[in-house]
Structure 1
Amino acid sequence: MFKGSMVAIVTPFKNGKVDEKALEELIEWHIKEGTHAIVPCGTTGEASTLDYEEHYRVIEITVKVVNKRVPVIAGTGSNSTEEAIMIARKAEQLGADGSLSVTPYYNKPTQEGLYRHFKEIADKTGLPMILYNVPGRTSVNMLPETVARLAEHPRIVGIKEATGDMKQVSQIIRLCGSDFAVISGDDFTNLPLLALGGRGFISVTANVCPKDVAELFNSWERGDISRAREIHYKLEPINKAMFIETNPIPVKTALAMMGKIKEEFRLPLCEMSETNKQKLAEVLRSADLIS
């Protein structure tokens, strides 16, 4: 259902507000460059500092601008099950094609708690759901056996796996079968995950290199493994640079250097250190993304 290069799109800010014009321009650029799906209001979209009105407005703008040309998978997760249900229902009303729901953070639920959380959301909402497992941010790792239980639900169609653990990815694919979409949540694992049977990536790097990230997937799909490998190594320094500081600080800084958005964050995120900004600029120059 969902596959390819799916950008975890940033939320541009200007003078403390969502920069709607910049967001619209980013979306159009992504579609022109071949991005296969747009994912607003995720980690990279700074969803944790958007209020409800802003969150819904970003989804609304994305759906309107995309206009069914590619799928829109809205970030709807929360560490409150009822809140996650509420946001997912609103995303459906706004016209999203799917939802991305992160494992509850701070609560540190058990595996049974994780199962019940996602099952409750899927039971009470209508969108196809992609689970999102990112223990580095949430302090809880959803194990393959739990994912396999959830994969039996007709509305739970895949998982964004951001453990960086190919053994865990392999177990999930084996347990859940070919109909369940396992998606890379770490750009450095994009190609290895495809080799294991994954369906694509929800990508940070696609924010700055949409054409290359899409072409990596397209090359793999048409069986041009050498071309996919070539792009993987081309993107490796950029993938690393996108995490030189906490995401989305580097990617938003990069987009600002490229003239796409303003360099603006919301606390507790802040601008990069000058040393790291210089390192980032060197990588972008080497990739011909800035002059």
Structure 2
Amino acid sequence: MPPSTSLQPPRLNNSALPDLLIVKRIAKIPISQAYRMSTCSDVESPLPGYGTTANPPGSTIPPNTVYSQPHFTSGDFAEENPRPVLKPGLYVPTLTFFKKDTEVLDEETIADHAVRMAKAGAAGLLTQGTNGEAAHLLHLERTVVTKTTRDALDRAGYVHIPVIVGCGAQSTRETIELCREAQSSGGDYAIILPPSYYKGMYTTESIKRFYTDVANASPIPILIYNYPSVTAGVDLDSDTIIELAKHTKIVGCKLTCGNTGKLNRIAAATKCQTHTDRGSGFMCMGGSADFTLQTLVGRGSGVVAGLANLTPRICNKLIELYTTGKVDEAQTLQAAVARGDQAATKTGIVGTKSALQTFYGYGGYARRPLPRPTEQEVTNYSSAFEEIVGMEKLV
């Protein structure tokens, strides 16, 4: 199949965007029905060829040195495309929930959890991330999770909240396919880990080419996801991310590496969006609740916090305290949030789901081969999260 010559979605009249957004989503094929009919069968998804038509000859990155982002506007929806805009604040990488006995997707709980996060003040949700057990999901299941999340938000009146979808894969081709599937299931943006399986053979230029090829072919804007712990130690440096940020369809980054110096450099170079400065619109986000305050002090855009699955109001309160000038209170709360996030980091998805089950009556288990906690572990997890959940219930 020849390379596609039309990689960009059509431009639409801005006045019709909210209605068009809803109509587009209602008209989608019943993905969840297809999933229930065949949860284990392979589904063909032909991938059109991808090219680098957005690049000038001999260039790795399209020549946009202003870091201006096409998704960015002062309203709730992008001016060129019917998608909610990314705004500074708290983003929740949502868990994926399964039926306890069968490990089949629990769509009702996925939907309810998404709405709970929105009600707590989340600026956006992220599906198919590390917390979302993307590594355990079939392609069709990924689309079900994203569509279920998007539809639940829309029904509850949160059409303005963006859904970012994890689309990282080991090949450029599959990554682009995941981006297209993300769009078709209601995703507004894709977030992408660097490839890592052949780590020893990758160069900085090949990683740049990977992100450039994906950005050129993806029907939705992308964010860079840097998390060395899950990519065999592949750790993108600030220079690489700053250069890639010049691409008009690379609109942000999530730094779960915890390197605040890197975050500071990227935030400054890209003039990223903050609570007090619209900047270029680029989103430079910390990837963990335990350095929320450090991210904001370093002029980052916000955080993507796994702990927020359990305590979204407290995570949001921390941002609110800092952005309203209550720095001393924010520092005190950050210490408690860091203790809670340490528990989440140590116990992982298993501990977070166990705590959700204990304190909120839902959560269930992670998919095998992740273990199910013993009775003693359930007690230990409850104790580890007791402080931060107690604070959550007082907000």
Secondary structure of residue in 1 paired with 2:346:
coil
Partner of 2:345: 243
Partner of 2:240: 146
Inter-partner Cα distance in structure 2 for 1:227 and 1:111: 42
Cα offsets for 1:157-196 (capped at 9, x unmatched) = 1110011122222222233333332111122111101110
106-115 or 235-244: bigger deviation: 106-115
Cα offsets for 1:228-265 (capped at 9, x unmatched) = 223212212211100113x3222112112223434312
Tell me if the contact between 2:256 and 2:287 (Cα under 8 Å) persists in the aligned partners. Answer: yes
Residue 200 of structure 1: how far off its partner (Å): 0.7
User: Which structure's residues are more often strand, by fraction?
Assistant: 1
Tell me if the contact between 1:238 and 1:283 (Cα under 8 Å) persists in the aligned partners. Answer: yes
Secondary structure of residue in 1 paired with 2:223:
strand
Inter-partner Cα distance in structure 1 for 2:170 and 2:292: 27
Tell me if the contact between 1:76 and 1:99 (Cα under 8 Å) persists in the aligned partners. Answer: yes
CA RMSD of aligned residues (A): 1.8
User: Is 1:76 matched with 2:139?
Assistant: no
User: Which structure's residues are more often helix, by fraction?
Assistant: 1
Secondary structure of residue in 1 paired with 2:313:
helix
- Matched letter for residue 136 of structure 1: S
Tell me if the contact between 2:165 and 2:191 (Cα under 8 Å) persists in the aligned partners. Answer: yes
- Matched letter for residue 97 of structure 1: D
User: Is 1:269 matched with 2:362?
Assistant: no
Which residue, out of 124, 135, 139, partners 1:52? 139
**Structure having the higher Rg:** 2
Which residue, out of 205, 209, 213, partners 1:120? 213
Inter-partner Cα distance in structure 2 for 1:263 and 1:62: 18
Partner of 1:257: 358
Which residue, out of 183, 192, 196, partners 1:92? 183
TM-score, scaled relative to structure 1: 0.93
Cα offsets for 1:37-89 (capped at 9, x unmatched) = 11111110000110011000000011111111411111111121111101111
Inter-partner Cα distance in structure 2 for 1:208 and 1:105: 30
- Matched letter for residue 92 of structure 1: Q
Residue 219 of structure 1: how far off its partner (Å): 2.3
- Matched letter for residue 242 of structure 2: A
Residue 36 of structure 1: how far off its partner (Å): 1.4
Which residue, out of 14, 20, 25, partners 2:107? 20
Inter-partner Cα distance in structure 1 for 2:309 and 2:169: 24
Cα 1:261–1:113 shift into 2, 3 Å: farther
33-42 or 165-174: bigger deviation: 165-174
Cα 1:163–1:259 shift into 2, 3 Å: same
Tell me if the contact between 2:93 and 2:305 (Cα under 8 Å) persists in the aligned partners. Answer: yes
Inter-partner Cα distance in structure 2 for 1:257 and 1:125: 40
Unaligned runs of 5+ residues in structure 2 are 1-85, 273-279
Tell me if the contact between 2:291 and 2:338 (Cα under 8 Å) persists in the aligned partners. Answer: no
Cα offsets for 1:108-129 (capped at 9, x unmatched) = 2322121111111100013121
Residue 276 of structure 1: how far off its partner (Å): 4.7
Larger relative contact order (Cα-Cα within 8 Å, sequence gap ≥ 6): 1
Partner of 2:260: 166
Partner of 1:284: 385
Residue 274 of structure 1: how far off its partner (Å): 5.6
User: Is 1:155 matched with 2:249?
Assistant: yes
- Matched letter for residue 194 of structure 2: T
Inter-partner Cα distance in structure 1 for 2:320 and 2:188: 22
Cα 1:106–1:277 shift into 2, 3 Å: farther
Inter-partner Cα distance in structure 2 for 1:2 and 1:99: 15
Partner of 1:204: 306
Inter-partner Cα distance in structure 2 for 1:78 and 1:261: 30
Number of aligned pairs? 289
Inter-partner Cα distance in structure 2 for 1:128 and 1:45: 20
Tell me if the contact between 2:124 and 2:161 (Cα under 8 Å) persists in the aligned partners. Answer: yes
Residue 20 of structure 1: how far off its partner (Å): 0.6
Inter-partner Cα distance in structure 1 for 2:196 and 2:361: 31
Inter-partner Cα distance in structure 1 for 2:186 and 2:340: 33
